[in-house]
Amino acid sequence: APCEHVMCALCSLIWLCFLFPLSSGMWSVQALEMIVGKIPFLQAVNGSTVMLPCTYASCIGIQDLYFNWQFNDNGTMQKVCESLIVNEGVEPHVEIFRERVEFVGKNRNNNVSILLWNITFEDGGLYTCFGRNPKEKGRNHSAIFKLIVVDELRVVDNTLTIMIASAVGGAIAALMGFMLLKNFTIFVLSKIEEKNKECLVTSSGIDNTENGLSGSKADSKPTPKKK
């Protein structure tokens, strides 16, 4: 009976540590990730050409990685393009489903970005970059990029910011000037005080000498001789 309990405990440990993570895909080191950059949005002028960035990353590499771009058209997901990357470094053959779209990733540096030519207001919205890696037991991931189409780019008025910065800078400069002036004044006053002390000591020594002090002897008149 004790042996059976030990075997059961050992089986449970093996299941928790090895089999369960494999069956549920919990190994974080194998996680596929689709990345659209630190700033996942772009504001562009109507009629311009823009690039929607996306790269993939996997700690164990890829094999037959499937990816696509999708556009959210008022709640309906429309496929923009799709392809299969056999291995890293292999340039995929990408199928395009929308006009004015070009695949520019070429799979260099895990890049699967696309280019939108001559964008219109209808092109504005959310774009999803999706990937699925069979090498990670079908692990998939997606990232969203937002495109904002405008008539013209607005110039941000920095007048208030400049005024505040100037005021703060002026206040700091005035404070530093005041501190320098204060220190200089204290230095000058201390020098004047030292000079006055020296003058007082010198003057006191001279006066005492003239008064016959400080160990000096007063001049004595000779005693007149008697005739």
Q: Is the pLDDT of residue 197 over 90?
A: no
The residue with greater pLDDT, 190 or 6, is 190
The residue with greater pLDDT, 211 or 187, is 187
pTM exceeds cut of 0.85:
no
Say if residues 58 and 76 touch (Cβ distance below 8 Å): no
Provide the pLDDT for residue 145. Answer: 98
Q: Is the pLDDT of residue 190 over 80?
A: yes
Q: Is the pLDDT of residue 189 over 60?
A: yes
Digit-coded pLDDT (tens) for 14-66: 444 444 444 444 444 458 999 999 999 999 999 999 999 999 999 999 999 99
Contact residues for 212 (Cβ-Cβ < 8 A; gap 6+): 218
For the ranges 97-101, 108-112, 162-166, 203-207, the lowest mean pLDDT is seen at 203-207
Phi and psi torsions of 210, nearest 5°: -65, -30
* Nearest-angstrom CA–CA distance, 71 and 114: 12
Task: List the domains of the chain with CATH numbers.
Answer: 28-150 (2.60.40.10)
Provide the pLDDT for residue 16. Answer: 44
SS3 of residue 168 by DSSP: helix
Mean pLDDT of 168-189: 83
Digit-coded pLDDT (tens) for 123-176: 999 999 999 999 999 999 999 999 999 998 876 666 677 778 778 888 888 888
Q: Is the pLDDT of residue 207 over 50?
A: yes
